[in-house]
A and B are shown apart, each in its own frame.
Chain A
């Protein structure tokens, strides 16, 4: 799980790698997140288009870091966060959602999310949010 590569985010010592899962009902958004994140530490293990798919994929791939949309068919992101945190409390979750009200962000954090990024976002905002997420992992 550890390797020695680096992209300027650490102190030069052995660096952890993290398995990444991307959850969003938009293919465009899933590809955008995959393409725009610039962390050598992240290894993409899968993507899902709704909470149910994400839950199944989570059980199979055991990700360390998850980006999670909220408004999705079948199972929304809030319910999915609750379920995956039950399975793996140490998972780090970044919610990436268009929902811009404070109450939704607060609820997501209460369920176990570790960060919240509103759509639309720039590459820089995405990478800053991910950096914050894995710095504390």
Chain B
């Protein structure tokens, strides 16, 4: 089960990502616990599997429109499906990797896997409760979902 301080690590990682990579801060909403089923996802979802001293999954899910603006802020000119997939994977990887500053090296992160579409296959996190960190950036909404043993 995720502790409050641990959740703060992911909130700070998300804040830092948008401040530095997008050069425009995001507004982070109050994290909440999903008690029934899986959180709804957006068009693109980048997932990191966590193993080692903790087990679970961290994923970043965002709508295409938000990713397009994010890419523009990064001076990208390629807005293809593949680049959208690349971006959500990289965001999930960066926030999860940054969390090792607090969790330590035994917080082992996978390479990103990415799903797209309305009903993607999100790995079942049996026995785990998912915390959702709402992200509001410009006029768009996205989520970071953290489910850890």
Residues facing B in A96-137 (CB within 8 A) are 97-101, 103-104, 118-122
Q: Does any Cβ of A come within 8 Å of B29's Cβ? A: no
B side interface size, CB within 8 A: 31
**Of the residues A27, A71, A118, A121, contact of B93 by C-beta under 8 Å:** A71
Residues on the B chain within 8 Å of A73, using CB: 111
Q: Which of B11-26 contact A (CB under 8 A)?
A: 16-17, 20-21
A25 near B111 (CB under 8 angstroms)? Answer: yes
Q: Are A98 and B74 in contact (CB under 8 A)?
A: no
In the complex the two chains form, is A120's CB within 8 Å of B76's CB? Answer: no
Known: A71-B109, A73-B111, A120-B16. A29 touches B100 (CB 8 A): no
Among candidates B17, B104, B105, B110, residue contacting A120 with C-beta atoms closer than 8 Å = B17
Could you give 15 example pairs across A and B, Cβ below 8 Å? Answer: A26-B86, A27-B78, A27-B83, A27-B86, A29-B90, A31-B76, A72-B111, A99-B97, A99-B100, A101-B103, A101-B104, A103-B105, A119-B21, A120-B16, A122-B20
Residues of chain A having any CB pair with chain B under 8 Å: 25-29, 31-32, 35, 71-73, 97-101, 103-104, 118-122
Residue positions of B touching A, CB distance < 8 A: 16-17, 20-21, 71, 74-76, 78, 82-83, 86-87, 89-90, 93-101, 103-105, 107, 109-111
